[in-house]
Amino acid sequence: MAKAIAIKEPGNFKILKWSEVREEVQKINHDLVDIIDAINCSKLEFCRVSYPFGNAIFKNGLLFVPNTSNKFVPISDPSTSEQCKKLLDYNSTPFGMVLNRSISESVEEEMHFASRTIFYPGQFFGLLELFNSTNPLLDREQQSLYAGTRSIFSTTKISNQQKYQTIKRKFNLNSKIPISPKDQFFLLKELVQHPHFSCAWSADVLLFPNYLREQIEKNKLELLQNFFLKGALRQAINWRFDTTVGVVWNQIRQLLKENGHKVFTCQVPALEHIVKLALGALPCFVSSDHDEITAPINLIKEILIDEYKIDFCPTIMVPGYLAREKYHYGYYSVNEATPIEEYGKKREDNRPMEAIRNLQVTYEFIKNSIEKNKGGLESHAIKKFFAEVDLSFFHNYIDKNNSLQFSSDLPNHDQSLIQLPSKYGKCKMPFNENGQFFRGGIKINMDRFFNSKIKAK
């Protein structure tokens, strides 16, 4: 058996034969093991790489790997080993599988980004690009892959100049003070990776060799090609879903128009997006990542409490898929862009109270119309489409119509919003109900989904 070639730290980068990684893959994707065993690819070499939280795996059209000094650099860098370049220097998005934790795919351009997909252990990334590498719609220059999530933030601001300067001096930080939630990622990443905290969180991925990719593209490995094609079709279902539900929302727009709803040009796209979040078609903001699959959340909370001296409970939001037997609640805010959407900056009702109330009115009208079989919304497909969608609308101020829930009540239903790391025992910190994220938001309740799953069993 050939020895694994390691770059400085054996657990950081390894080139492995299939026999050396087979057992690990078997635990998370036995179907892939069966296929590779069947086609006798035992001589293939794979690259196992551990990326610290927040590190770019792929950015600006370049794959990042550890070099001979154990620093992550573009694969084209002179300090990258020749064997690594030979195995991985393909001219497209990297192709591989997540072994541990998660990685996220983002679309980025200058000051904007949107987290589009999360890949969990056993899932493949780069599948769509594998079969469409020359498609201009898949612009790899704007596509990025990160270890963990790029869309992470504390709902309590961490932009206090004095507190920031204190930790900046103590830890010799390079990142700038985070003005908006989108900016927090850079500070949190730098703190987590600081040697003082010895963070062990990493996303481990198995990168497939360029040779295997070429064989699949040339139709040389039909069994493996069909296996990955099926995977690509499953991943593409969300985008196919967009076309299908477009018909439903056109009916809804027509119904709203006929019933005198004049201002719905922004509410319908927002509700359409929220329904996709509820059905698990897109990642939604959640606060209950107890397994820390997307980020070292407990360490981040400890840093904010012990070092930054945050005044409120550090409620950390990360993206996660609902309707997957894990997250009971997801959140949407009219004040903050969701992982892939910017309704908050484009609505015509600029006040959060007005925006959230208008969303509630539109949502309730649609639900009532479906229940009463009005406006052509009586089909079984449309009813099923909305059956599991249960939304609660909230704000931190009193609503004159008395129709919105108070933000302060949220922790009574979702304890993850105020959960502290175990080191603090029974200590509690106040919930920041006045934070920008909770000044006009929607809680997506998944209890109906879980109850229906239990009944089905």
Of the pLDDT bands very low, low, confident and very high (cuts 50, 70, 90), residue 5 is very low
Question: Which secondary structure element, helix H or strand E, spans residue 367, and what is its range?
Answer: helix 352-371
The verdict on 127 and 84 lying in the same domain is: yes
Q: Whole-angstrom Cα distance, residue 363 to residue 390?
A: 10
The residue to which tokens 């069947």 are assigned: 38
Residue with tokens 């990258």: 80
In 148-221, beta strands by DSSP E: 153-154, 202-207
53 with 87, same domain: the answer is: yes
> What are the tokens at 241?
């879903």
For residues 295 and 399, the model is more confident at 295
Q: Which residues pair with 136 in a beta bridge?
A: none
| Judgement on whether residues 215 and 268 belong to the same structural domain of the protein | no
Say how far residue 11 (Cα) sits from the centre of its chain: 25
Q: Lowest-confidence range among 29-33, 85-89, 146-150, 381-385? A: 381-385
Residue-wise pLDDT tens digits, 73-128:
999 899 888 888 889 887 678 899 999 999 998 876 655 666 778 999 999 998 88
Does residue 264 share a domain with residue 216?
Answer: no
Contact, 433 vs 317, CB < 8 A?
no
Tokens of 123: 């899932």
- For residue 332, the cross-strand partners are 442
Q: What confidence score (pLDDT) does residue 259 get?
A: 80
Same domain, yes or no, for 36 and 99?
yes
Please write the tens of the pLDDT for every residue from 183-208.
899 999 999 999 999 999 999 999 99
- Is residue 171 included in any domain, yes or no? no
Q: Do 210 and 346 fall into the same domain?
A: no
Within-domain flag for 13: yes
Strands 62-66 and 56-59: antiparallel
**Domain containing residue 217:** 5-109+120-146+202-232
Asked whether residue 452 falls in the same domain as residue 330, the answer is yes
Residue 313 CA to residue 373 CA, distance in Å, equals 45
In a domain, 194, yes or no: no
- The burial of 451, by beta-carbon neighbours within 10 Å (0-12 exposed, 13-18 middle, 19 or more buried), is given as exposed
How many CB atoms sit inside 10 A of residue 409's CB?
13
- 380 or 14: which carries more pLDDT confidence? 14
Length of the chain equals 457
Q: Which helix (H) or strand (E) holds 217?
A: helix 210-217
- Buried (b) or exposed (e) across 16-39, using 16+ Cβ within 10 A? bbbebbbebbeebbeebbebbeee
4 phi, psi to nearest 5 deg:
-70, 135
Distance (Å, rounded) from C-alpha 330 to C-alpha 315?
13
**H or E element that contains 115:** strand 112-119
pLDDT surpasses 80 at 140: no
Are 420 and 449 contained in the same domain? yes
- For residues 225 and 317, membership in a common domain is answered with no
**Is 169 part of any domain?**
no
The pLDDT of residue 3? 37
H or E segment and range at residue 65: strand 62-66
C-beta neighbour count of 342 within 10 angstroms: 12
- Check residue 235 and give its pLDDT: 81
CATH number at residue 220: 2.60.120
Q: How far apart are CA 22 and CA 436, in angstroms?
A: 47
Residue 184 lies in a domain: no
Q: What is the pTM of this model?
A: 0.89
The owner of tokens 């609308």 is 393
Cβ neighbourhood burial of 392 (10 Å; 0-12, 13-18, 19+): middle
- Predicted confidence band of residue 6 (pLDDT cuts 50, 70, 90): very low
Judge whether 356 lies within some domain.
yes
User: Are 403 and 254 members of one domain?
Assistant: yes
Residue-wise pLDDT for 205-245, tens only, equals 999 998 888 888 777 788 888 999 888 888 877 666 676 67
How far, in Å, CA of 232 to CA of 125, rounded? 9
The mean pLDDT of the chain is: 83
Q: Do 412 and 297 belong to one domain? A: yes
User: Pairing between strand 153-154 and 143-147?
Assistant: unpaired
CA distances from 419 to 32, 70, 186, 307 (A): 38, 36, 24, 18
Residue 292 lies inside a defined structural domain of this protein: yes
Q: Please give the tally of structural domains in the chain.
A: 2
Statement to judge: residues 383 and 439 lie in one domain? yes
